[in-house]
Structure 1
Amino acid sequence: MESENKELVSMHERKKIAKGKMIAFCLFLIIFAVLADQYSKYLAVSHLKDNSGIVLIDKVLELYYIVNTGSSWGMLAGQKALILFISVVIITLCIFMIIKSPEDVKFIPFNVALSMIIAGGIGNGIDRIRFSYVIDFIYFKAINFPVFNVADIFVTCGAILFILLILFKYKEKDLYFMKFNQKKFREMN
């Protein structure tokens, strides 16, 4: 009996350590991505703000400084408080999912996707709080795509990876931790 208890404690401790390592890894990714985003925006302001732009690939890719008071494609322009509120809700949900996700190695891509979304949200949130706008500077001229930034790349790639994982990698039973337990909620009230 005592050895079973020690094994359970040992297994519980290993899970705690694994979860701590995963959270530390996610935190490292988030910090690295936010710093990369902010540094790229610093470079954009330093080299592009008073410049007509830099052509990287003729008629395809340019670096071009603009400010965006909205969200994606300029939607919700001037709605700083609403955009920040939505961002905080999404970031909070992503953090919750990282914390609740199992320690299993197969959830590393899941947590990476969520970390990318968090980092992009924080990167653009910093701009919104500091300047009341977001600095955008990457322009795909070939398809006339709206000008975007590194944080947008993190959010987009993270969201695409998250959707692909949910649709093709994980089974419903793998995602049990994301379900809202109505019975538990009713018991609390």
Structure 2
Amino acid sequence: MLYFGAALVAAFDQLMKYLVKTRMEIGESIPIFGDFLRLTSHRNAGAAWGILQGQRWFLIVMAIAVIVGIIYYSRRIESKLSKIALPILMGGALGNLIDRLLYGQVLDFLDVRIINYPIFNTADVAIVTAVALLLLDSFRLERNAEPHPK
């Protein structure tokens, strides 16, 4: 399930990026929901919010470390929610890793304009969703755990 789920997420991410790359010019912006959500073709040689610009190899190593960590951790979990979240997280990391390896940068295109928010992509959505699910699972497991004796 881990590898299949991760491959599905990464494939969907790469398909979306391919469509943007082949049908839009860099900087072109198309309204989806007025000025709330636009498709904007953008390239990012850094990480989230444009930090670590030009640190391609560092970001590649970090993505590989995350993927290896997920593979290791996935063998030790029993929670159904975490078993759903980990393939999503791995697929998101893999989607952006593919961009960095092939192009030296990540293609971003989801542009939420109602707030001043950086342009992002479907791999980023997968990563944030998976982290939220893991946090939710962590709080749920903690709440259901027996109290520790003092």
Match of 1:34 in 2: 10
Structure 1: 5+ residue runs without aligned partners?
1-24, 175-189
Greater CA radius of gyration, 1 or 2?
A: 1
Aligned length: 145
Give the Cα separation in 1 of the matches to 2:49 and 2:27.
Answer: 22
Does 2:125 match 1:149?
no
Q: Which has the higher contact order (CA 8 A, sep 6+)?
A: 2
Does 2:21 match 1:45?
yes
Q: Is the 8 A contact 1:62 1:140 kept in 2?
A: yes
Runs of 4 or more consecutive aligned structure 1 residues displaced over 2 Å after TM superposition: 49-52, 171-174
Alignment partner of 2:4: what SS?
Answer: helix
Q: Is the 8 A contact 2:99 2:106 kept in 1?
A: yes
Q: TM-score with structure 1 length normalisation? A: 0.72
> 1:115 deviation in Å?
1.2
Q: Deviations over 1:26-77 (max 9, x none)?
A: 2221111111000000001012225721101112000000100001111101
Structure 2: 5+ residue runs without aligned partners?
146-150
Q: TM-score with structure 2 length normalisation? A: 0.90
Give the Cα separation in 2 of the matches to 1:90 and 1:52.
Answer: 32
Match of 1:70 in 2: 46
- RMSD of Structure 2 on Structure 1 (CA): 1.7
Give the Cα separation in 2 of the matches to 1:109 and 1:120.
Answer: 17
> 1:152 deviation in Å?
0.3
Match of 2:141 in 1: 170
Alignment partner of 1:67: what SS?
Answer: strand
